[in-house]
Structure 1
Amino acid sequence: MALSRVVLASGRPVDLTELRLSSTYGEVLEGYPCKPLNDLTIAGLLRSAEHTRHGGPVHLIPPKREYPDQYAGGFGPVEVLPAVTCVGSFRSEALDPDHDRALYRSRLTVVWFQPTSRIPSGRDAESALLDVDWERLATDEEL
């Protein structure tokens, strides 16, 4: 059973079957948000998602980066990502029309950032999530 159903801009419904939410900077003990830290965080999220999904496709929605007018430290200017990191596993009907609908589903793991911990549902989700090109990024799997 899905946690929620999201309707992409293309009209394709996709089921959110697993969702991991975390504070983007919850584990930062020292320093400040900056490009090197953010790039390491994103790379780690992608590695973790690829490992967890056992070779299934993983897509990063590039996060919005803000540059508040604050003192730049030794690692460059302050660069802030949205507060909540999301890793979601989505499933939908098979991409290949020749696949038996009872035996195949398409799947995609998506990594994105958002300002709140709201669970995406219906057409109420970050616009970049709704714009995911499912047909290009997802892959079919046999159940």
Structure 2
Amino acid sequence: MALARVVLASGRSVDLAELRMSSTYGGMLEGYPCKPLNDLRIKGLLHTAERDFPGAPVHLIPPPREYPDQYAGAFGPVEVLPAVTCVGSFRSGALDPAHDRALYRSRLTVVWFQPTPRVPSDCDAEPALREVSWEHLATDEEL
């Protein structure tokens, strides 16, 4: 049973099988949000998603980055990502029309950021999440 169903802009429905949410800067004890820190965070998220969801392609939706007018420290200007980090495992019907729909499904792991801890659902998901090109990014797997 899916946690939620998301309708992509293409019209394809995808089921959210697993969702991991965390505070983007939770646990940051010192320093400040900046490009090097954010890039390391994103690299770590992608590596963890590949490890935790083997066999599924992993896609990053590039996060919006804000640059508040604050003092730039030793690592450059302050750069802030949205507050919530999401890693979702999605499933849908098979991509290849030659595959038996009862024996195959497509899957994709998506990493994205959003401003609030809200589970994406139907057409009420982050616009960038709804724009995912499932047909180009997902892969079929035999059940």
Q: TM-score range by the shorter chain?
A: over 0.9
Helix, strand or coil at the partner of 1:96: coil
Q: TM-score, normalised by structure 2?
A: 0.99
Residue 56 of structure 1: aligned partner? 56
Report 1:34-45 matches (<5 A).
Answer: 34-45=34-45
Aligned residues: 143
Aligned equivalents of 1:19, 1:90: Cα separation in 2:
9
**Matches of residues 45-124 of structure 1 in structure 2 within 5 Å?**
45-124=45-124
Corresponding residue for 1:6?
6
Percentage of identical aligned residues: 80
Of 16-25 and 47-56, more deviation after overlay is shown by 47-56
Per-residue deviation, 1:75: 0.2
Q: What is the distance in 2 between the residues matched to 1:115 and 1:54?
A: 28
**1:55 CA displacement:** 3.1
When the two chains are superposed, the root-mean-square deviation of aligned CA atoms in Å is 0.4
Structure 1, residues 96-118: CA drift from partner, whole Å, max 9, x if none?
Answer: 00000000000000000000000
Any gaps of 5 or more consecutive residues in structure 1? none
Cα deviation, residue 34, structure 1 = 0.1
**1:27 & 1:95 partners in 2: Cα distance?**
40
- 2:82 counterpart SS class: coil
What is the CA–CA distance in structure 2 between the aligned matches of 1:114 and 1:55, rounded to whole Å?
26
Cα distance in 1 for partners of 2:55, 2:67 equals 35
Q: What per-residue deviation string (whole Å, max 9, x for no partner) do you get for residues 18-59 of structure 1?
A: 000000000211100000000000000000000111131000
Match of 2:28 in 1: 28
Q: Which runs of 5+ in 2 are unaligned?
A: none
Q: CA deviation at 1:86?
A: 0.1
